[in-house]
C-alpha cells in the first residue's frame, strides 16, 4: 500500500542493477484527468481515495456530517501525491534540528537539505542561484503559469501587515510568497510521474497494481521479517525477501499493517487476538496540521475562480495544448503565508501558523460538490452560501494551518480484518493553545482583508453567520472558537504514528536508520516516522525522507556486499528468469521488497 515515498524508494533502490525490487500498490494507476492541478479537491471521495473518516468527538468537527472529519488519502500509484494540492513547502530548519536533538543523528537541517535538493528540478532561477535549491532532479517544482490578480494582492497585503515577500523555503520562513508546487509544464508531477516513469524500463523493477498487502511475514522465533502477504484479484499471494521489507504506506496504513502483523501495543493487539511479536507504541504520536473554515470574503471584480469561469472551451484547449491557463493553478491555492501569533517569539523565525490563500471559496462550484468533499452538512452550506450562489459572487478565502499542534491522537485497529478501516482518533483541539492559535489566525485574516491591497477589490466579509454559532456575538474570540470546533478541517498531513527515536524513547517505533525496533529486516519510510510534524506541508518532506531512507538502505547493504560475494545469488536469480515470471505486472506499487518469485512465492 504505497504512499508518496514508495515510488521514490523504488526508483532509487532499482539503481542497483543486482537488486530486484517489487512494489505492491493497493490501488490502480492514475489517469491524465488526475494531472489537472485545479481539480485537486474533486479527486477526493473518488476511487483513488481511501475515503477515511475520523471517529466523532465533540471537541471538533461538530458541524460536519455525523460529527466526523473526512480524511482523504491516496489509493493509487504515487499515493497522495496524485490527489494532494501539490504545494512545495519544506517546513522550518528548526524542525529537523529538533529531530536530531531528540536522539536521531543524521536528521538535522544541514543533513537533510542535500536530500531536498537531490530530488528537485526547480524552474525558478532566482531560487536555484541560492544554496537552498537545485535543478536536474526527478521532481519538477515551479510556480503555475497562471495567476489571478489576487495572488499578488495576498503578498502585498502580507507586506502591509509587516511581513516580507520571500522564498519561505530559503533562509527564513516567516513571510509571503507566490506558491510553488510539484507541477511540470502546468500539469501535476506526482511521485509516480517523477520517479517511476523514468525507471519503468529497468528490468529489476517490478510493480503490481490492485495488490492489497494484508500482513508482514515475520519469523516469531528470530523476529525477522521475511516477506509480505497480499491479495490480488481475489488470490492470496506471498512475497519472500531475503534482504528486507520496506513499508511505505503512510501514517494510517503503515501502523495498521504493523499492528496486523503483531507489531504494536501488546494490550491492543491481544484485544483483537493478534499474537504479539514486538510491543511498540505503533499508532501513537499521531499529529496532523489542522485548520477550519474561515470567513468568505466577497470581491466586486471577476478576479477569482468559479466553475463557470474555469470550464470553457478556450481554457480547456489552452491547458490541453500549451499547459497554460487557470486549470494549472494548485487546487485554487495561489499564495503561501507563514506568520507569528502572540504565542511565539517573532525573532526566532519559527512561525506557528501557515496560510493557504485561495482565489475562490466553498461556493466556487455553486454548491455542486465542494461542501460534500470537506464533509460539511448540507444545511450548513445552504445557510452560509445560498444567497452568494444566487448572486454568483467572486470571493476568496484562506485555509489556516496550525503548524505545530500540541494535541496528539492515535490510530487503532477496528478488528483483525486487514480490509476493515482503522479507527482514527486525531484528538484535535484537545490542547487549549491549539484553539487559541487558530482563533488568532482568523483574526489575522479579518485584519488582512482590510489592507489596501485587498480593499482594492472591495473585499467584504460574508455577513452570514456560521451555523451553530449564531447565538454568540460575532467577531469575538468565543465566536471564532465555536467556528473552529464546528468546522475543523484537516490539511491532509497525518504524521508520526511510527515514531523515529532512540531506544530510550518509550514511544519510538523505528531508529534513526528507520529500522523497526526488535524486528530484523523491516523498515518504515514515510511520514509516519516523523517524531514531530514539520512546520509546513508534508509533500516535500516525505520525498526527502524517501531519498534519505534510500541512501541509508544502500549504504547498509552495499557495505555488507563489499564483504561477501554475490555471484551465487545472481546466478540463482538469472536462472529463474525473474522478468518472464512476473512480466504481466507493470507500473504500480505499495510495500517494497527486494526479491524474486519462486513457485508462487517471490524470494529476495
Question: Residue 331: pLDDT above 80?
Answer: yes
- The answer to whether position 469 is within a domain reads yes
Q: Please, are residues 60 and 434 in contact by the beta-carbon 8 Å criterion?
A: no
pLDDT of amino acid 469 = 96
Q: Which residues contact 409 (CB under 8 A, 6 or more apart)?
A: 286, 287, 288, 424, 425, 426, 427, 428
Q: Are residues 368 and 350 in the same domain?
A: yes
β-pairing, 263-264 vs 278-279, is parallel
Whether residue 435 is found in the same domain as residue 563: no
Same domain, 306 and 351: yes
- Whether residue 524 sits in one domain with residue 469: no
241 located within any domain? yes
76 is in an annotated binding site: yes
Calculate the average pLDDT of the chain: 91
For residue 11, pLDDT beyond 60 = yes
Sign of CA dihedral 198, 202, 204, 207: positive
Q: Residue 485 maps to which CATH number?
A: 3.30.560.10
Considering the domain architecture, whether residues 159 and 270 belong to the same structural domain is answered as: no
**Do 465 and 383 fall within a single domain?**
yes
pLDDT for 572 equals 39
Look at residue 561 in the predicted model and tell me its pLDDT: 61
What is the pTM for the complete model shown?
Answer: 0.93
Q: DSSP alpha helices (H): ranges in 125-248?
A: 125-128, 149-160, 191
Q: Where are the beta strands (DSSP E) in 363-521?
A: 394-402, 410-412, 423-425, 460-461, 488-490
pLDDT of residue 518 exceeding 60, the answer is yes
Q: Are 533 and 496 in contact (CB under 8 A)?
A: yes
Residue 154 forms part of a structural domain: yes
What is the pLDDT averaged over residues 178-190?
A: 97
pLDDT at residue 565 is higher than 50 = no
97 belongs to a structural domain: no
Residue 328 lies in a domain: yes
pLDDT computed for residue 155 by the predictor:
98
pLDDT digits (tens, 9 = 90+) for 471-508: 999 999 999 999 999 999 999 999 999 999 999 999 99
Q: How far apart are CA 379 and CA 367, in angstroms?
A: 11
Q: State whether residue 227 is helix, strand or coil.
A: strand
Boundary of a domain, candidates 464, 492, 520: 492
Residue 64 lies in a domain: no
Shared-domain flag, residues 354 and 434:
yes
Q: For the chain, what is the largest distance between any 2 Cα atoms, rounded to a whole number of angstroms?
A: 77
Whether residues 323 and 181 fall in one domain: yes
Q: Which three cell numbers stand for residue 31?
A: 489517469
Q: Where are the beta strands (DSSP E) in 162-305?
A: 175-178, 183-184, 187-188, 205-208, 211-219, 224-232, 235-240, 245-247, 263-264, 278-279, 290-292, 297-299
User: What tens digit of pLDDT does each residue of 519-552 get?
Assistant: 999 999 999 999 999 999 999 999 999 999 999 9
User: Domain boundary residue among 445, 463, 492?
Assistant: 492
Of the chain, the end-to-end C-alpha distance in Å amounts to 19
pLDDT at 574 over 90: no
Give yes or no: residues 278 and 296 share one domain: no
- Do 435 and 569 lie in a common domain? no
Run of H or E residues at 70: strand 70-71
Helix (H), strand (E), coil (C) string for 231-266: EECCEEEEEECCCCEEECCHHHHHHHHHHHCCEECH
H or E segment to which residue 550 belongs:
helix 539-561
Considering the domain architecture, whether residues 446 and 320 belong to the same structural domain is answered as yes
pLDDT number for residue 581 = 26
Burial label, 461 (beta-carbon count in 10 A; 0-12, 13-18, 19+): middle
The answer to whether the CB of 540 falls within 8 A of the CB of 88 is yes
Question: Under a CB-based contact definition with an 8 Å cutoff, are residues 603 and 240 in contact?
Answer: yes
Q: Residue 102 falls within a domain, yes or no?
A: no
pLDDT digits (tens, 9 = 90+) for 296-317: 999 998 888 888 778 888 999 9
> Does 388 have pLDDT greater than 90?
no
Q: What is the pLDDT of residue 267?
A: 97
Asked whether the beta carbons of 339 and 444 are under 8 A apart, the reply is: yes
- Rounded Cα distance, 342 and 339, in Å: 10
Distance, in Å, from the CA atom of 445 to the CA atom of 294, rounded to the nearest integer, reads 8
Domain boundary among 458, 475, 492: 492
CA distance 473 to 490: 26
| CATH code of the domain covering residue 253 | 3.50.50.60
Nearest 10 degrees: Cα torsion 523, 44, 372, 415? -30
Number of domains within the chain = 2
Which residue segment(s) compose the domain that 549 sits in? 4-30+203-287+496-603
> Which of helix, strand or coil describes residue 427?
coil
Set of cell numbers at residue 522: 523491516
pLDDT at residue 337 tops 80:
yes
List CB contacts of 51: < 8 A, sequence separation 6 or more: 44, 45, 70, 72
Residue 296 falls inside a structural domain: yes
Task: Identify whether residues 282 and 297 lie together within a single domain.
Answer: no
* DSSP E strands, 371-409: 394-402
Asked if 493 is an active-site residue, the reply is: yes
Q: What band does 589 get if pLDDT is binned at 50, 70 and 90?
A: very low
* Whole-number Å distance between alpha carbons of 353 and 291: 10
Amino acid at each position: 500500500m504505497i504512499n508518496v515515498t514508495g515510488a521514490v524508494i523504488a526508483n532509487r533502490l532499482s539503481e542497483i542493477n543486482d537488486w530486484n525490487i517489487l512494489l505492491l500498490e493497493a490501488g490502480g494507476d492514475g489517469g491524465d484527468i488526475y494531472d489537472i492541478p485545479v481539480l485537486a479537491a474533486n479527486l477526493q471521495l473518488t476511487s483513488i481515495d481511501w475515503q477515511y473518516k475520523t471517529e466523532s468527538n465533540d471537541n471538533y468537527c461538530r458541524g460536519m456530517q455525523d460529527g466526523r472529519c473526512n480524511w482523504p488519502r491516496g489509493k493509487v500509484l504515487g499515493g497522495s501525491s496524485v490527489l494532494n494540492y501539490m504545494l512545495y513547502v519544506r517546513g522550518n530548519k528548526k524542525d529537523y534540528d529538533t529531530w536530531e536533538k531528540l536522539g536521531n543523528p543524521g536528521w538535522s537541517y544541514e543533513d537533510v537539505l542535500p536530500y531536498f535538493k537531490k530530488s528537485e528540478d526547480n524552474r525558478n532561477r532566482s531560487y536555484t542561484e541560492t544554496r537552498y535549491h537545485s535543478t536536474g532532479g526527478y521532481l519538477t517544482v515551479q510556480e503555475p503559469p497562471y495567476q489571478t490578480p489576487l495572488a499578488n494582492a495576498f503578498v502585498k497585503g502580507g507586506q502591509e501587515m509587516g511581513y516580507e515577500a520571500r522564498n519561505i523555503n530559503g533562509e527564513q520562513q516567516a513571510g509571503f510568497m507566490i506558491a510553488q508546487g510539484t507541477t511540470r509544464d502546468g500539469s501535476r508531477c506526482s511521485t509516480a510521474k517523477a520517479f517511476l516513469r523514468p525507471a519503468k524500463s529497468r528490468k529489476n523493477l517490478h510493480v503490481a497494481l490492485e495488490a492489497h498487502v494484508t500482513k508482514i511475514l515475520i519469523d516469531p522465533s528470530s523476529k525477522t521479517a521475511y516477506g509480505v502477504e497480499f491479495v490480488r484479484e481475489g488470490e492470496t499471494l506471498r512475497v519472500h525477501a531475503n534482504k528486507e521489507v520496506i513499508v511505505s504506506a503512510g501514517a494510517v496504513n503503515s501502523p495498521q499493517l504493523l499492528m496486523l502483523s503483531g507489531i504494536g501495543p501488546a494490550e491492543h493487539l491481544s484485544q483483537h487476538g493478534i499474537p504479539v511479536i514486538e510491543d511498540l507504541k505503533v499508532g501513537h504520536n499521531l499529529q496532523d496540521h489542522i485548520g477550519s473554515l474561515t470567513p468568505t470574503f466577497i470581491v466586486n471584480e471577476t478576479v477569482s475562480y468559479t466553475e463557470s469561469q474555469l470550464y470553457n472551451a478556450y481554457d480547456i484547449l489552452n491547458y490541453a495544448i500549451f499547459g497554460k491557463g487557470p486549470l494549472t493553478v494548485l487546487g485554487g491555492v495561489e499564495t503561501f503565508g507563514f506568520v507569528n501569533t502572540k504565542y511565539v517569539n517573532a525573532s526566532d523565525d519559527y512561525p506557528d501558523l501557515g496560510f493557504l490563500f485561495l482565489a475562490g471559496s466553498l461556493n466556487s462550484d455553486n454548491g455542486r460538490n465542494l461542501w460534500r468533499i470537506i464533509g460539511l452538512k448540507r444545511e450548513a452550506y445552504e445557510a452560509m452560501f445560498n444567497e452568494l450562489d444566487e448572486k454568483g459572487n467572486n470571493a476568496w478565502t484562506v485555509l489556516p494551518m496550525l503548524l505545530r499542534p500540541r494535541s496528539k491522537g492515535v490510530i487503532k485497529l477496528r478488528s483483525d480484518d486487514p480490509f476493515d478501516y482503522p479507527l482514527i482518533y486525531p484528538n484535535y483541539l484537545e490542547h487549549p493553545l491549539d484553539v487559541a492559535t487558530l482563533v488568532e489566525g482568523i483574526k489575522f485574516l479579518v485584519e488582512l482583508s482590510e489592507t489596501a491591497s485587498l480593499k482594492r477589490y472591495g473585499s467584504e466579509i460574508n455577513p452570514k453567520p456560521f451555523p451553530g454559532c449564531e447565538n454568540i456575538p460575532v467577531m469575538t474570540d468565543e465566536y471564532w472558537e465555536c467556528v473552529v470546533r464546528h468546522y475543523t478541517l484537516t490539511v491532509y498531513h497525518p504524521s508520526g504514528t511510527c515514531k523515529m527515536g532512540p531506544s530510550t524513547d518509550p514511544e519510538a517505533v523505528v531508529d534513526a536508520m528507520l529500522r523497526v525496533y526488535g524486528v530484523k529486516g523491516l523498515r518504515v519510510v514515510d511520514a509516519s516516522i516523523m517524531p514531530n510534524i514539520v512546520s509546513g506541508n508534508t509533500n516535500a518532506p516525505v520525498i526527502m525522507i524517501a531519498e534519505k531512507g534510500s541512501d541509508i538502505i544502500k549504504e547498509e547493504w552495499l557495505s555488507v556486499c563489499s564483504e561477501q560475494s554475490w555471484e551465487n545469488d545472481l546466478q540463482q536469480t538469472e536462472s529463474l528468469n525473474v522478468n518472464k515470471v512476473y512480466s504481466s505486472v507493470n507500473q504500480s506499487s505499495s510495500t517494497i521488497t527486494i526479491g524474486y518469485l519462486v513457485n508462487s512465492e517471490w524470494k529476495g
